[in-house]
Structure 1
Amino acid sequence: MNDERHLVGLIGSGIGTSMSPVLHEREADRQGLRYLYKIIDLEVLGLAAGDVGELLSHARQLGFRGLNITHPCKQEVVKYLDELAPEAAELGAVNTVVFRHGRAVGHNTDRYGFAQGLARALPAVAPGHVVLLGAGGAGLAVASALAAAGTRRLTVADLDLDRAQRLLRSITAHHDLTVEAITPEAAPDRLAAADGLVNATPIGMEGHPGVPIDLVHVRPELWVADVIYRPLETELIRAARQRGCRVADGGGMVVYQAAASFRLFTGRAGDEEAMYRDFLELAGGDRDA
């Protein structure tokens, strides 16, 4: 057993059923590390996204090695950090904060997580024209991953059109593709000629039931991906599968981003395949998620 101790955590809202603690702790056990992963739920604490800076300060004082950051704080947390790793600076969103030498450094492992998860679930998918629902922190990571995977046209739908336009400006600064920002009402029209659909909104997760788009617009020719993994089979993924679409649920993204975060926290590579098996066991499934 390694006597070095690792205290880490997760800040977000409505995260009581997150699988991150057990994914990290099981991997730490395999590697003989003393590792404790704590949930810091804004909803339970009666706090807002803007309180993330104070929580970071407390965590640093209490000796945390780092924190994962999730909805609704991935963009809000940026202004409270001392430094951003290149991928986080490019995206303007952070899902992992590491405390080192008195400094809080922001990273983004979501982009890697989504890219690896999509490649695993849909290895032969042609990204082509993709309609992305949601321009928040997860949407930024997804858009960047899609651009790197060869997407030629990206349509981003968000209730906040300014936010969607900011996402596209960020992406086009680093990638050459045709982009468009729209409101959700225009999404069905664009989806009619698209190759893929990705949900990067909270709609469909525990506490946010429903579907992010009318299912009548989900054609069998589409491939459909969701970043949500609680539940693993969202209403969108279930309906898409029933319609004959190729699908990628949020399982791959959460596992691969967790493995990348584990490495940032500990300096040791996480065993991605073992962590994936852990996830399937916890999720109660035996298929490739």
Structure 2
Amino acid sequence: MSLPSESYLAGLIGDGVTPSLTPPLHEREGSEHGLLYLYRPIDIAALGLAPGSVGELVRAARNLGFNGLNITHPCKQLVLAHLDEVDADAARLGAVNTVVIRPDGTTVGHNTDWSGFLSAFRAGLPGAALGRVVQLGAGGAGSAVAYALLTAGVEHLSIVDVAPERAAERTAELARLFPAASVEARTTAELAPLLEDADGVVHCTPIGMAAHPGTPFDTSLLTPRHWVADIVYRPIETQLVRDARAAGCRVLDGGRMAVGQAVDAFRIFTGLEPDAERMREHFLALIEAEALEAGAR
């Protein structure tokens, strides 16, 4: 039996990241490539650290020989000031979720939230109509998803958020970045007529998570001509996903984006091409095991 020829050390910085599925997802794929791949959560809440400590943690990781870091809430914006370079897409989004540490110690920030959704969207909903799309949620994840949708070629994007000022701010930024598209902020009161004209619906709010059950809108408004994408993945089968399937819609579950961003991060860290479908299968197995464990309690 041959030993792994290379080793990688990666980590995830954020608040409450100890239960994350990202470490086993990366480690298994590393093993499939013959690597010794260690990935550790760095939970600022468990360590008693403030979000502003992200710069100190990045420097410590560099000094300790880490190859890369994923960055999640609430540090994606804060980390930018502590990096040597930031790629163009992450700079436009104003958020970094992936940091590669080069052999010379320089740090480069990327954003695989948007690229992960884009690859998931293209693979999971090939040929989806891009004329008119409604997106619910204008937070951090919503910004990345909207950027991906417009990159994919969406012609008219309506963003609906419970905080109208946040939606207005996001749409102004996106309209500047994508002048050929129509990007507008709309209110929740306008959702029904928006959905009537829409080709697709993308959901980027916490509704549907285990702690926030339900659907973000009246799903009786869905028809078979709609496609529906959800970014919630705990659980994979949200009520929105179930209702959309029952209505005859083509559906993209939230696990696709979660795996997509991990696939891109693995590639950035190692320079190797991961097997996206294998990582998807492993992710679903992890989710299923998690659900079984929770049910056994």
Q: Which residue of 2 aligns with 1:83?
A: 85
Q: Which residue of 2 aligns with 1:154?
A: 157
Whether 1:142 and 2:140 are equivalent positions in the alignment is no
Compared CA separation, residues 219 and 65, structure 1 to 2 (3 A): same
Deviation for aligned residue 1:218: 3.7
Larger Rg: 2
- The answer (yes or no) to whether the contact 1:130–1:197 under 8 Å persists in 2 is yes
- The answer (yes or no) to whether the contact 1:113–1:254 under 8 Å persists in 2 is yes
Q: Please, which of 270, 275, 282 is the counterpart of residue 271 of structure 1?
A: 275
Q: Please, which of 225, 232, 242 is the counterpart of residue 221 of structure 1?
A: 225
Q: Which residue of 2 aligns with 1:246?
A: 250
Measure the CA separation in 2 of the matches of 1:48 and 1:237: 36
Same amino acid, percent of matched pairs: 52
CA RMSD of aligned residues (A): 2.6
Compared CA separation, residues 72 and 151, structure 1 to 2 (3 A): same
Measure the CA separation in 2 of the matches of 1:157 and 1:51: 33
Deviation for aligned residue 1:219: 4.0
Measure the CA separation in 2 of the matches of 1:7 and 1:24: 10
Structure 2: stretches of 5+ with no match in the other structure: 290-297
Measure the CA separation in 2 of the matches of 1:130 and 1:43: 37
Whether 1:182 and 2:165 are equivalent positions in the alignment is no
- The answer (yes or no) to whether the contact 1:97–1:105 under 8 Å persists in 2 is yes
Q: Which residue of 1 aligns with 2:206?
A: 202
- The answer (yes or no) to whether the contact 1:93–1:140 under 8 Å persists in 2 is no
Compared CA separation, residues 186 and 70, structure 1 to 2 (3 A): farther
Deviation for aligned residue 1:43: 4.7
- Quick one: which amino acid aligns to residue 211 of structure 1? T
Measure the CA separation in 1 of the matches of 2:26 and 2:202: 26
Tell me how many residue pairs correspond in the alignment: 285
The one-character-per-residue Cα deviations of 1:39-79 (angstroms, maximum 9, x if unpaired) are 23345445554443343344334332221123343334333
- Quick one: which amino acid aligns to residue 247 of structure 1? V
- Quick one: which amino acid aligns to residue 282 of structure 2? D
Measure the CA separation in 1 of the matches of 2:61 and 2:210: 27
Deviation for aligned residue 1:216: 4.3
Q: Structure 1 residues 54-63 or 22-31, which shifts more?
A: 54-63
- Quick one: which amino acid aligns to residue 231 of structure 1? P
Q: Structure 1 residues 67-76 or 94-103, which shifts more?
A: 67-76
The one-character-per-residue Cα deviations of 1:95-150 (angstroms, maximum 9, x if unpaired) are 21112233322101222211221222221210221111222332222112211222
Q: Which residue of 1 aligns with 2:69?
A: 67
Deviation for aligned residue 1:90: 2.2
Q: Which residue of 1 aligns with 2:8?
A: 6
- Quick one: which amino acid aligns to residue 197 of structure 1? V
Structure 1: stretches of 5+ with no match in the other structure: none
Q: Which residue of 1 aligns with 2:94?
A: 92
Measure the CA separation in 1 of the matches of 2:203 and 2:56: 30
